[in-house]
Structure 1
Amino acid sequence: MQQSNSSIYAVILALGMLVLAACDARADITLTFGTYAADKPTETVRKYRPFLTFLADRMSVRLGERVTIKMAIAKEYEEGVRQLAEGEVDFARFGPASYVRVKELNPQIRIVAMESKKGEKRFKGVIVVHRDSSVESLDELVGLTFAFGDELSTIGRYLAQAQLLDAGITGSDLHSFAYLGRHDLVGEAVGAGKFAAGALKESTYIKLVAKGVSIRVLVSFENVTKPWLASAELDPKIVQAMRQVMLAAQNEEILRRVAKNGFLASQDSDYDIIRDAIEQSRSF
């Protein structure tokens, strides 16, 4: 009889473990975060991983389910945009022009929040020249060479081309121009004398100068801060939990690598300035 009771207990215990395992399996939420390498991929991972771990931990508490976040880093902007549009990644951090593009491809893409810069929704992009260049204004770039970033880059293409157009310069007025992809590659190319000027984000410019790259700012211009986006397929309750964590975390030290001043609520119209620049660049 004792052996029979032991057998029954063992069966009940095994069934209980199976039920717990099934519950654990259901409780896990695995999300894939997507972005593209605007700078070196290793730098991209170093930048995002601490915040993504923080985000997963806080979302786990809010949802009552364990959340884990994986990363998918696309080599090019277009690939990153496609991955979010087609639901291959669950959420992403894009530049404004890439947001406009992905929204065209899939209108159901949602903004979770946008990054804050000292409480504002704007920050700076720059057009740089070599430190020893004699060029002092944009109109002096006629007949010279220019380095852009990626063909979908907000700063590295669209806003920079809008600046040139405002100065009366089109692509045909330049000796030549090229798209180099990453912001750091643009700055390094100008510093090495391979191009007379180039466009990049201000934060990358500061890092390059600190490393000894011989560049200086010719002009600076405003850009809209980056949006964090959710795929069309992501469960609304997960999107809401993510938004709550991001908007409640302005003072968290862990944010400094990604969004130095936290996040702000956002809407699609915040990016109309970028739509205008994209339209204007068609004349370049």
Structure 2
Amino acid sequence: MRHQRGGGLVSRTVAFIGLGHMGGPMAANLAAAGHRVLGHDLVPEAVAEAAAAGVEPAASAAGAVAVADVVLTMLPAGGHVLGLYDEVLTAARPGTLFVDCSTIDVADARAAHERAVAAGMRAVDAPVSGGVVGAEAATLTLMAGGGEAEFAEARPLLEAMGKKAVHCGGPGAGQAAKICNNMILGISMIAVSEAFVLGESLGLSHQALYDVASTASGQCWALSVNCPVPGPVPTSPANRDYRPGFAASLMAKDLGLAANAVRQGQVNAELGLRAAELYAAYAERAGDTEDFSGIVRTVRNQSGGTP
């Protein structure tokens, strides 16, 4: 963020590529913070929705990048990020800062960083945690990897999209933090789901278990914010027939990335690998239509209960 004399803020021109369920609200929050945001997506409906929230539609990614101070991307996978970089790096002005908020493999994040630097640009990987609700409310946590100077420049933009931005280290460190965090989350949600199904079999009400665990040693985000059973946390997806805040397919993707890193690093992470297997199977059925907390129904069904 630059400053005028007298302390007034001067907005940045941001090219935002990828206006889906996460990227659209994030771009809108940047526009609401006073930045000029040029948005591009392959889905016309996503562009139209972002435009209604103050994002200027861009006819092409390269056209948006050509006039941008900062390029933000929110894309499905590493191949998409690398392909886009190959397409637009030659269109960017020298020294443009590229900030990738996608969740991708650490190796792909480092490759994207290398390509940006080789083209005379600067780069930060900054995946997010908080789901669609966090993207809409600008309460995301962003985990950044890259140089300190690049992070310092990106930070005001990151903080316009979230409540906390953490510099985790060099290139790829943001992605490393993201997959470690989501491995904790996936394992936790399975544990909470199994505990509720066990409680059901023992005649324990959902509310009673929640009242105990939420103030005892079992307290965790998967319980207190995204509780997998209806009732105790009215805002959790369980009260909306598991309509996704964070889809099962996305959790399966993230745990798959974590599992690949576990194998490559020869880490003994039995629960992480098993969680990846369980969510991969669950996502084959639920896909993008159910929240990842809906795995409680799989646990219940396989335990002989009503799904």
TM-score (norm 1): 0.28
Larger radius of gyration: 1
Structure with higher RCO (Cα < 8 A, 6+ apart): 1
Bigger share in strand? 1
TM-score (norm 2): 0.26
